[in-house]
Amino acid sequence: MKSTLFKVLTGFIIGATAVGGYAIAVPSNVPVVKACVDNKTKALYTSSNGSCAKGRSAIDIGATGANVKSIAQLVSPSVVSIEITSLAGDGTGSGSIYRSNATTSYIITNNHVVESAASGGTISVELNNGDVYPAVIIGRNSDYDLAVISIKKGNLPEIPKGDSSSLAIGDAVIAFGSPLGLSGTVTSGIVSALNRPVTTGSTSVESYMDAIQTDAAINPGNSGGPLVDAQGRIVGVNSAIATLGATTTGSIGLGFSIPINQATRIAEELIATGKSTKPILGVSFDPSYTGVGAKVYLLSSGKAAEKAGITVGSVVKTIDGFKINDAISAIVRIRSHAPGDQVVMVVESSSGVSKTYTITLDSAPALP
């Protein structure tokens, strides 16, 4: 599988990027979800067996693709707008109600949405009904551009969870958020590509994502909002877009979302401990290498790669069957896993001999 690198700056701006290869949209069967719509309030409720209480009418979601109107009713109460005030300036973003108990609701968003408030500033969250609450940061992970914040308001509707590993190119998806401060915005599209290696942030603090690419319109302010499937389940956290330069910063149909399966692991760790982890191979790659693959420049003593027998100067060619074009694609493939996972790597030695390694990834603290 050919991977294409997009270098995306935090805040959704990149320079002109040449795209290699094509993403082919193929039709897929869309499962049907039974739901009930309140005849008076028009609020949408899931139904396990298709039956509805008095005052509610049955409705199918996903019967002929994404029913955007129905999904908007189902998902919008779980989507929030986020406003940041800090010494570095003001900003806006989006988030999803990930977990809610009797007193507190936890919201998943992007790290770049809230990081300026981490060292002084305020965060406020506006719910779908217009109510506004102060928020605090529970934890941040700049390695994956994810964060969890919380508000002291309980019993809020949690966003339905999906499975990003079940996505296929061509699947219908819908993006929610507050682009340019316009809260409650909904756009629709398809999954344009999967496993797209994307980096965001500065050279010193980069985030890496094994991104879902979509043509659903995503703009500044959509950061942290959910990408949902045809059943209204979150499958990604919207994080970045590609643009044609600093003077053209709107959506051109190249949006990128962090897969929810990856985001869920990090969110759970942040809620439990305020910190999170990342998988490591124990390798530094040579940034000057211009060949195809990722060339090993340094090995960390006692870590997974050294213990497996990989040597300095060798070149990583594939990871789990994915072709590795460069160091970024290698890092993204490793980061798509969790600590303790096994990966299968084909590595070519400096003498040109290829060997397959099965390696158990080590764990390291992620950067806040």
CATH at residue 340: 2.30.42.10
Which entry of 76, 94, 164, 223 is annotated as an active-site residue? 223
- Domain total for the chain? 3
pLDDT tens by residue, the chain, 368 residues: 334 444 443 333 332 222 222 222 333 344 556 667 666 655 666 676 778 888 777 766 554 456 788 888 889 999 999 999 988 888 899 999 999 999 999 999 999 999 999 988 999 999 999 999 999 999 999 999 999 999 999 999 999 999 999 999 999 999 998 877 777 789 999 999 999 988 876 555 678 889 999 999 888 888 999 999 998 999 999 998 876 665 556 667 788 999 999 999 999 999 999 999 999 999 999 999 999 999 999 999 999 999 999 999 999 999 999 999 999 999 999 999 999 999 999 999 989 999 999 999 999 999 88
Q: Are 188 and 216 in contact (CB under 8 A)?
A: yes
Does 163 map to a domain? yes
Query: Are 295 and 255 in a shared domain?
Result: no
Query: Are 21 and 163 in a shared domain?
Result: yes
337 counts as catalytic:
no
What is the spatial distance between Cα 261 and Cα 44, in angstroms, rounded to a whole number? 25
Which entry of 145, 210, 229, 362 is annotated as an active-site residue? 145
Q: Are 180 and 220 in contact (CB under 8 A)?
A: yes
145 counts as catalytic:
yes
Does 87 map to a domain? yes
The residues, any chain, with a CB within 8 Å of residue 94's CB and separated by 6 or more, are 79, 80, 81, 82, 109, 113, 176, 177, 178, 221, 222, 223, 224, 225, 226, 238
311-327 burial, b at 16+ Cβ within 10 Å, e below that, comes to: eeebbbbbbeebebbbb
Dihedral sign for Cα 115, 118, 123, 128, please.
positive
Return the CATH number at 193: 2.40.10.10
Dihedral sign for Cα 31, 37, 43, 48, please.
negative
Query: Are 346 and 289 in a shared domain?
Result: yes
Q: Are 324 and 331 in contact (CB under 8 A)?
A: no
Query: Are 20 and 163 in a shared domain?
Result: yes
Residue showing tokens 């979509």? 214
Q: Is residue 148 within a helix (H) or strand (E), and if so which, with residue range?
A: strand 146-151
Torsion, Cα of 123, 126, 131, 135 (10° steps): -30
Domain coverage including residue 250? 6-26+159-273
Beta strands 315-319 and 283-285, pairing class: unpaired
Does 300 map to a domain? yes
Q: What is the C-alpha end-to-end distance of the chain, expressed in Å?
A: 32
Does 42 map to a domain? no
Query: Are 281 and 265 in a shared domain?
Result: no
Does 291 map to a domain? yes
Query: Are 123 and 194 in a shared domain?
Result: no
Query: Are 180 and 266 in a shared domain?
Result: yes
**87: helix, strand or coil:** coil
Residues facing 109 on adjacent strands: 147
Beta strands 255-259 and 206-214, pairing class: antiparallel
112 counts as catalytic:
yes
Query: Are 320 and 281 in a shared domain?
Result: yes
Q: Are 210 and 262 in contact (CB under 8 A)?
A: yes
Which entry of 100, 112, 314, 336 is annotated as an active-site residue? 112
Query: Are 287 and 358 in a shared domain?
Result: yes
Of 135, 151, 167, which closes a domain?
Answer: 151
Of 101, 126, 151, which closes a domain?
Answer: 151
Of 129, 151, 173, which closes a domain?
Answer: 151
